[in-house]
Amino acid sequence: MAFELIDLPYDDTALEPAVSAKTLSFHHGKHHKAYIDKTNAAIEGTDHAGKSLEEVIAAARGSNQGLFNNAAQSWNHGFYWHSMAAEETSASDELKSMIESTFGSIDDLKKKLAERGAGHFASGWVWLAVKNGGLTIEETHDGDTLADQDGVNPLLVIDLWEHAYYLDHQNARPAYLDAVNGKLNWSFASENLARGTTWAYPA
């Protein structure tokens, strides 16, 4: 069964001005769709057909870089759409307590995410994750992902590729990070924490 481009969990204009409708149209409808289409083309007629996206990513890591890149980017983008919300959300008591214990406050965490994202060289992703029982900020380069990493449960991610922000903020990645920090979906992060296992790309 082929993978599908998942719908955005909000209208195209819902994240403005942090992320414009034009950016979402290109990012979701062009970039994400291309990753999905290339993944489907690569697995058609192979042993990977019928596997979950997470299984494809794990199988391709280290053995088929082209398939890995497209499958991982498909997963990362699906996770990224859900990491943002149109309306203000709240962290669960459990997540809020962990954030305060590790970073001081949600605002302090946002600053750390922005700092790590701004300092990340070239393309990639900055994540809030649970690792070894505690919260951590992780970075992955290019198309790499946390989707198949043992002992790591990603809670939120921010896309650092230029196509995520160039139409709105040109080369000012810090401005994009400050803006998108105000759209982070703490309810989604709380659900990922409570579930205790990595989010699954919708079948």
- Whether the bond into 154 is cis, omega within 30 of 0: no
Query: What's residue 118's pLDDT?
Result: 97
Please enumerate in sequence order all residues whose Cβ is within 8 A of that of 103, keeping only pairs 6 or more positions apart, or say none.
Answer: 109, 112, 135
For strands 134-141 and 152-159, give the pairing.
unpaired
Phi, psi of 172 (to 5 degrees): -85, 75
pLDDT in tens, 110-128: 999 999 999 999 999 999 9
Query: What's residue 163's pLDDT?
Result: 94
Query: What's residue 1's pLDDT?
Result: 67
Residue in this structure with the two tokens 């289409």, named with its chain if needed: 37
pLDDT in tens, 71-83: 999 999 999 999 9
Round to whole Å and give the CA distance between 76 and 57: 11
Query: What's residue 9's pLDDT?
Result: 97
Please enumerate in sequence order all residues whose Cβ is within 8 A of that of 23, keeping only pairs 6 or more positions apart, or say none.
Answer: 164, 165, 167, 168
Rounded average pLDDT per 10-residue block, the chain, 203 residues: 93 96 97 98 95 97 97 98 97 98 97 97 97 97 96 98 95 96 98 97 90
Do residues 118 and 174 make contact, with C-beta atoms less than 8 angstroms apart?
A: yes
Round to whole Å and give the CA distance between 41 and 74: 13
Do residues 84 and 184 make contact, with C-beta atoms less than 8 angstroms apart?
A: yes
Amino acid identity of residue 102, one-letter, is: T
Round to whole Å and give the CA distance between 137 and 131: 9
Q: 45: part of which helix (H) or strand (E)?
A: none
**CATH numbers and ranges of domains, the chain:** 20-203 (3.55.40.20)
Round to whole Å and give the CA distance between 183 and 83: 8
Query: What's residue 203's pLDDT?
Result: 79
Please enumerate in sequence order all residues whose Cβ is within 8 A of that of 124, keeping only pairs 6 or more positions apart, or say none.
Answer: 139, 140, 141, 142, 144, 160, 161
